[in-house]
Structure 1
Amino acid sequence: MKINARCVALLAILLLTQVLIGVNTQEEEEQEEEQEPEQEEQEVQDVEDVEDVEEESIETWTGRACTCDCEGGSPSGIPTFTVPTPITSVAPPLPSSRFMKCMPECPYHQALGFESGAVTSDQISCNKNELYIGWFSSWTADKARLNGQGYGCAWLSKFQDINQWLQIDLKMEGVVSGILTQGRCDADEWITKYSVQYRTDENLNWVYYKDTTGNNRVFYGNSDRTSTVQNLLRPPIIARYIRLLPLGWHTRIAIRMELLMCLNKCT
C-alpha cells in the first residue's frame, strides 16, 4: 500500500508538472504572437528610419544654379535665363547617363553679347574709370569684347596690381555658366589667372566663387594673345553683377571676354 501511495503521489506530481508546463508554453506562445506584430512594426520603422537617413545623406542639387531641360525643345531664338526652383525631395533615378550631365552644370550655353554688341558700354566698368583719359581712353573697360580687333581692341588696366577688376552689370539676375577670355589683339599682353566675384544686388557684399574645398576658385587664363580660353562654372551662379579680378598677367592686364549664360532650352 505504501508503494502504491508513492506511485500515485509521483503520478500526480508529474501530471501537475505537465499541466503547468502546458500553461506556461501557451502563455509564451501568446506573448510571442503579441510581440510579432510589434517586431514587424519596429522592423518597418527601422527600414523607414534607414531610408530617411539615406535620403538625408544624399546631397540634392538644389542650386544657386540653373535648372535644365535635357530633352531640349524647339529653338526660340530668344535667350532664356532660368531661375531655379528648390528641390524638396530626392530626385528619382535618371533613365540614362546623358541626363546626368544636367547636374551640376548646364547643358546649354549662350553668349551674353560682348562680341555681338548686345552688351552695351554702360554695362561694363572697371575700378577708377574716371582715370582712363588720354591714351587710355581708347582702352576702357567697354572695349573688353571677345574677338575685338584694331586699335582699342581690349581693356587695358592702367594699373598692374591685384586690386584691379572688370565688372559686368547684367541689368537683371541671370544664370552665368561660363567665362571666355582672350588677350590684347595687337600685343603680347593677357591675364594668366583670375578669380570671380558676384552678387545679386548692389547693396549686398561681393561673394567669391569657391572651389570644392571652400577656397576662392582660381581660374587659369591665357597663354597667348589670340587663343580663347573657356572656363565653365560648375555649378553656375545666379547674379546680376559679375567681377573678374586679375591675379596674374603677362606684361600687362589685358582682357577681351565673353560671358556664357545658362539656358533651359537650345536656342
Structure 2
Amino acid sequence: MVQAAPGDDLTALRNKAFASFRTQCCGKQVTGGATAWCNAGARDTNPWIQVDFSCSVVITGVITQGRGNRNRNQWVTEFKVAFSDDGQEWTDVTNNGSSTPMKFPGNSDQNTHVTTTFPKAFQARFLRILPTQWSSHCCMRFEVLGCTINE
C-alpha cells in the first residue's frame, strides 16, 4: 500500500472551505460526526478529490468506503480515476487502450470495503477520484493501493 498522505496532500476543488475541512478529517471522528470527504452538495455536479504523493509512485488500485456514519446513507456508487505527473495534464484510467474513461463500481453501503484493481498499474505523482454517481450525498473514504519507486 502506498504510504498514507497527510491531510495537506489531499485536494478537493469544489467549495474550497468545505472541501478543506473534509479532507483533513478523513477517517477521524471529529465534532459533528464527519468521517469522510463529502462534496459541496447539489450544486457540485462534478466533484473530485485528489492525492499529491509528492513524488512518483506506482498505483494499482483503490479501496473505497462510504461515509462512516450509521445515520447517513452516503456513499459513492460509481467513479472514474485520472492520474498526472504534474497536476495539470490528466490521463484517465481506461481499459486496454480505449479512449473512454472506465467507470468503476463503488459502494452499496457506508462501511463495506470495495477493492478496485486497475487494468494496468501506472506511475504518477497525483491521483484523482471523480465520483459519477452516489447515494444521497457524495461522500467517501479511500485508500490507494500501490508502492513507492526505489531509485
TM-score range, shorter chain: 0.7 to 0.9
CA distance in structure 2 between the partners assigned to 1:262 and 1:131 by the alignment: 31
For 1:185, give the aligned amino acid.
G
CA distance in structure 2 between the partners assigned to 1:251 and 1:149 by the alignment: 21
Is the counterpart of residue 166 in structure 1 residue 57 in structure 2? Answer: no
Note the residue ranges of structure 2 that are not aligned, 5 or more in a row. none
Q: Which residue of 2 aligns with 1:12?
A: none
Q: Look up the SS of the partner of 1:226 in the other structure.
A: coil
Say whether the 8 Å CA contact 2:14–2:39 is kept in structure 1: no
- Displaced runs of 4+ in structure 1, greater than 3 A? none
Say whether the 8 Å CA contact 1:125–1:142 is kept in structure 2: no
Say whether the 8 Å CA contact 2:80–2:104 is kept in structure 1: yes
Aligned match of 2:89 in 198, 201, 205?
205
Can you list the C-alpha shifts for 1:145-168, whole angstroms capped at 9, x where unaligned?
A: 4xx446221111113444110010
- Considering only aligned residues, what root-mean-square deviation do their CA atoms show, in Å? 2.3
CA distance in structure 1 between the partners assigned to 2:62 and 2:48 by the alignment: 15
Q: Which residue of 1 aligns with 2:66?
A: 183
Deviation at 1:111, TM superposition (A): 4.3
How many residue pairs get matched?
144
Aligned match of 2:108 in 223, 228, 248?
223
Q: Which residue of 2 aligns with 1:249?
A: 134
- By relative contact order (CA 8 Å, sep 6+), the higher-ranking structure is 2
Say whether the 8 Å CA contact 1:183–1:226 is kept in structure 2: yes
For 1:180, give the aligned amino acid.
I
By percentage of residues, which structure has more strand? 2
By percentage of residues, which structure has more helix? 1
Identical pairs, percent: 27
Q: Which residue of 2 aligns with 1:84?
A: none
Point out the structure with max Rg over C-alpha: 1
Deviation at 1:233, TM superposition (A): 1.6
Note the residue ranges of structure 1 that are not aligned, 5 or more in a row. 1-109, 114-118
Aligned match of 1:153 in 25, 35, 59?
35
Q: TM-score normalised to the size of structure 1? A: 0.50
CA distance in structure 2 between the partners assigned to 1:111 and 1:149 by the alignment: 23
Deviation at 1:197, TM superposition (A): 0.8
CA distance in structure 2 between the partners assigned to 1:193 and 1:130 by the alignment: 23
For 2:6, give the aligned amino acid.
T
Is the counterpart of residue 236 in structure 1 residue 127 in structure 2? Answer: no
CA distance in structure 2 between the partners assigned to 1:231 and 1:124 by the alignment: 20
Say whether the 8 Å CA contact 2:37–2:140 is kept in structure 1: yes
